Amino acid sequence: MGLMAIYAARSKQVAARMLGGEMMIMSPRDTTLFNLNDVGSVIWQSADGQTPLDEIVARLCAEFDVAPEVARQDAESFIQELAEHGILHVSDQPITAEPPRQEPA
């Protein structure tokens, strides 16, 4: 993803809840369940579409004992993976609206 600004936004289609310090996320459409660890949970909760990834990485570095470059690389991979599952949206611009849903085939 390079050095450009990155914004991530949680999909409004999912169901999610913190459980014992870890975020449980369910995609209602296919009932796929995701379990995020504490670091992933912070990224998830910060992914409001308005906060740049750099700022989220700074939060991670402040909260966990991790080098900024490592945190940035891991965070990028993480949000990309969640985006591939359709539970997070990623853009180089602030995200203000949920992308249109895909109609069933």
Partner 1 sequence: MSVLMEEMNRRALTLGIPLGAHLDVTYRCNERCVHCYLDHDDHGEMTTTEMKDVLDQLADAGTLFLTLSGGEVFMRMDFFEILRYARELSFCIKIKTNAFMIRGEEADLIRDMDVSSVQVSIYSHRPEVHDGITLLPRSLERSIAGIRLLQQRGVKVIIANVLMRENLADYEGVRALARSLGVESTIDPTITPKMDGDRSILDMGIAGKELRDIMHNADLVGNVDDFCATPPPVGDEDLDTVPCSASHTYCYISPYGDVFPCVQFPLPTGNVRKQKFLDIWRYSPQMNDVRSIRPRELPVCSTCSHIGTCTRCPGLAYMQGDMRGPSVQDCEKSYARTGIPSANMKLRFTATNGHPVAASEPASLVQIQLAHAC
Residues that bind partner 1 (CB under 8 A): 12-20, 24, 26, 28-29, 31, 33, 35, 103-104
Closest CB 77 distance from partner 1, rounded Å: 21
Closest CB 6 distance from partner 1, rounded Å: 23
Closest CB 33 distance from partner 1, rounded Å: 5
d(C-alpha 37, C-alpha 1), whole Å: 23
Task: Select 2 or 104, whichever has its Cβ closest to partner 1.
Answer: 104
d(C-alpha 94, C-alpha 73), whole Å: 20
Q: How many CB atoms within 10 Å of residue 17?
A: 9
Q: What is the CA radius of gyration of the chain?
A: 14
